[in-house]
Amino acid sequence: MSNLPDCQTLLLEQHNGVLHLTLNRPQSRNAMSLQMVAELRAVFAAVREDRSVRALVIGGAGGHFCAGADIKDMANARAEGSDAYRDLNRAFGALLQEVQHAPQVVISVLQGAVLGGGFGLACVSDVALTDHQAQFGLPETSLGLLPAQIAPFVVQRIGLTQARRLALTAARFDGVQAKRLGLVHFVEHDPQALAERLEEVLAHVLCCAPEANALTKKLLLASAGEPADALLDQAAQWFSDAVKGDEGVEGTLAFVQKRKPGWAP
């Protein structure tokens, strides 16, 4: 058993070589707070060298996976000065890199909202299962912001052509379309079928040798080319500039006030 950190935003359950991580902020559709990012990073760091943990399953409480970044954290960052937005954004990129490079098999179980940061987590999972009615999307540009840390991983997952369409229209789509795009591997039509599919995938994973899987994953990622640190650093700066700019201020305010921003028809 790994020495797992205490978490307030995650539920952790470990058995039979599988660690289940449940994003647990259901009141905000599991929006990704800075605390949640820190706790996820701590859990992945704790199990990194532990080959008794064969797979990590990420899901969400309350019928949603993750509705993206916590706008309240962004409001708090506004009070902390110009570097706070960049640091907040880059911390999430670091999480995506760490999940991407986890030696274990990472499986995401997607339901409800799979937006922004949640979309990013789906893109760095080795196997993704979804409910057919899950709602996927990159809403950032509709808020006057950028999918800054997520974009390189989205391109790597589904290709540049589809990533451009989704990021530049902020379009929403369901689990069936997510499978068509190659974002997810399995789409199921009820919770029971989703649970059964997860058990089937885990049974296959547990047939594979853990160190062989770790090295194979490393080889595959190296073959595909990786989002670079320098690119994610630059993207974090662009994100910070966008949040502080006229569009970012108007977009996030409109979101909080539940109205359309000034540029929307």
Q: Give residue 38's pLDDT.
A: 96
Q: What are phi and psi of 106, to 5 degrees?
A: -105, 125
Radius of gyration of the chain from its Cα atoms, rounded to whole angstroms: 18
Token pair, residue 131, equals: 């409910």
Between CA 149 and CA 233 the distance in angstroms is 9
* C-alpha dihedral, 54 to 203 to 37 to 134, nearest 10°: 170
Complete domains list, the chain, with CATH: 1-190+209-265 (3.90.226.10)
* Residue 99 CA, distance from chain mean position: 9
Q: What are phi and psi of 199, to 5 degrees?
A: -60, -40
pLDDT (tens digit, 9 = 90+) per residue, 171-221?
A: 999 999 999 999 999 999 999 999 999 999 999 999 999 999 999 999 999
Which one has a higher pLDDT value, 225 or 82? Answer: 225
Q: Give residue 1's pLDDT.
A: 55
pLDDT (tens digit, 9 = 90+) per residue, 37-94?
A: 999 999 999 999 999 999 999 999 999 999 998 877 777 777 777 688 899 899 999 9
Helix (H, G, I), strand (E, B) or coil at 239: helix
Between CA 264 and CA 3 the distance in angstroms is 49
